[in-house]
């Protein structure tokens, strides 16, 4: 079995400009909605990474004519909400939790049965957070004894809309239920304990499907049609976050990150870094494909530890691995609470980050839903990424402030969200190399 390891030299700075890969969340949703719309959907800026390709291949397996992708351009001839075909084999979603959870909702309303599988990491992630509310709607999904994949989705079920209060803020669960609601009789309403990313609601409107929001409650009524459209996918703020933190912590740095999505449900990373004292400016703010975008200029700054406001946690949930690296370089103490969701990502990111930070000499203590970090001096060492792409990239950025080399093991999954990360990081000044090993 081949493993990819990253080798990082200590120190350095980031300088230059770049446009990071397309937004993964938006790429997933564009393929899903384009496939069940009527007419042609054209996508520009599509993320050609393993997770998004897993979604694309799943819909191809259900009979959707998807042309390319080629340099981020995709054309989808939609088949309508009832036009998908039964797949001839299990739909393998690789490492993509977004694909699996959202497809549960979309496939629960189909006339055919389907089976969802994934890699070992995805097969360990909890799926009852979506299968239980779908059962309240009339869906039936069989899981493993541990509530994980493989997932057998029974077709031909009569779905009815429900009023559902999310026990924890989760854009994936909300989106799953909205997609099921497209096929349900009556209204489906989801109330969030805190606002989460709203790409699904925005994109449904872009496909001419009516969605209503009142405060933290979002609703739609089943039975309407989606109409094909054109979508421009902005650069992914979750990918840009690594260079935002890198430029902030490495003295002498200045980077310009172009065409980054700044959807207000995703800008927790900006707000948290600003509260820590980052030197950051949004330039050329505009709208592209229904999503706000901007060029983000970041210069090095002396960061301060803070107590992270809990209302910002859902708005930065994917960025916390690298935000915890920022905290390790900040003066004083940073306190994160209310982030239990990090325990059920591609890995247990709280434990993974804790182990890595301790290995690199940082004083940190974990709790069930967060961490306390006292900023200090980063040493060199060997870190296990646990096959988690965001942990691997976060510790790559940590090398900018380390005093010795860092070796990061098990980094192959970086390609699930950010193909070309190593090359782009090296161009900006990170002392990084990648090598395959056989274990």
Query: So which residues are the catalytic ones?
Result: 318
In 10 A of CB 109, how many CB atoms?
A: 26
**DSSP three-state, residue 421:** helix
Residues contacting 146, CB < 8 A, separation 6+:
none
Give the ranges where 182-223 is alpha helix by DSSP (H).
Answer: 199-206
Strands (E), 111-214: 114-117, 141-142, 151-153, 163-165, 187-191, 212-214
CA 44 to chain centre: 19
**DSSP three-state, residue 287:** strand
Give the C-alpha separation, 208 to 372, whole Å: 45
In 10 A of CB 426, how many CB atoms?
A: 13
In 10 A of CB 254, how many CB atoms?
A: 16
Give the C-alpha separation, 344 to 3, whole Å: 23
Q: Are strands 91-92 and 114-117 parallel, antiparallel or unpaired?
A: parallel
Please give the C-alpha separations between residue 158 and each of 135, 140, 252, 381, 417, in angstroms, as whole numbers. Answer: 11, 10, 60, 55, 35
Give the C-alpha separation, 299 to 313, whole Å: 24
Q: Which of 393, 408, 310 is nearest to 21 (CA)?
A: 393
Cβ atoms 25, 172 nearer than 8 A: no
């Amino acid at each position: 079995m081949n493993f990819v390891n990253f080798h990082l030299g200590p120190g350095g700075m980031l300088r230059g400009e770049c446009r990071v890969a397309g937004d993964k969340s938006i790429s997933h949703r564009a393929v899903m909605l384009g496939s069940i719309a009527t007419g042609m959907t054209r996508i520009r800026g599509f993320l050609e990474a393993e997770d998004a390709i897993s979604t694309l291949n799943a819909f191809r397996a259900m009979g959707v004519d998807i042309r390319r992708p080629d340099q981020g351009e995709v054309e989808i001839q939609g088949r309508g909400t009832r036009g998908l075909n039964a797949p001839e084999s299990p739909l393998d979603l690789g490492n993509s939790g977004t694909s699996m959870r959202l497809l549960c909702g979309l496939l629960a309303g189909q006339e055919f049965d389907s089976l969802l599988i994934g890699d070992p990491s995805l097969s360990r992630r909890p799926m009852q957070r979506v299968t239980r509310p779908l059962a309240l709607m009339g869906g039936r999904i069989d899981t493993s004894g541990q509530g994980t994949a493989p997932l057998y989705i029974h077709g031909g079920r009569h779905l009815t809309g429900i009023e559902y209060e999310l026990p924890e803020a989760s854009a994936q669960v909300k989106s799953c239920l909205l997609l099921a609601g497209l096929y349900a009789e009556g209204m489906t309403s989801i109330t969030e304990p805190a606002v989460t990313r709203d790409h699904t609601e925005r994109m449904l409107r872009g496909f001419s499907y009516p969605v209503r929001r009142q405060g933290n409650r979002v609703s739609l009524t089943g039975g309407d049609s989606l109409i094909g459209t054109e979508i421009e996918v902005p650069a992914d703020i979750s990918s840009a976050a690594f260079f935002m933190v890198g430029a902030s912590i490495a003295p002498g740095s200045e980077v310009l990150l172009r065409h980054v999505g700044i959807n207000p449900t995703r800008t927790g990373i900006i707000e948290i870094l600003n509260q820590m004292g980052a030197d950051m400016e949004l330039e050329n703010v505009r709208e592209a494909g229904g999503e706000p975008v901007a060029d983000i200029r970041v210069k090095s700054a002396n960061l301060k530890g803070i107590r992270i406001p809990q209302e910002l946690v859902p708005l930065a949930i994917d960025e916390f691995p690298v935000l915890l690296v920022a905290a390790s370089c900040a003066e004083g103490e940073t306190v994160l609470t209310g982030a239990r969701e990090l325990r059920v990502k591609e890995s247990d990111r709280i434990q993974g980050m804790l182990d890595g930070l301790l290995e690199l000499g940082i004083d940190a203590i974990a709790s069930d839903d967060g961490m306390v970090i006292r900023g200090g001096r980063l040493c060199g060492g060997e870190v296990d990424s646990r096959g988690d792409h965001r942990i691997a990239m976060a510790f790559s950025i940590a090398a900018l402030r380390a005093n010795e080399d860092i070796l990061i093991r098990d980094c192959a999954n970086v390609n699930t969200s950010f193909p070309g990360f190593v090359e782009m990081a090296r161009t900006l000044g990170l002392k990084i190399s990648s090598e395959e090993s056989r274990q």
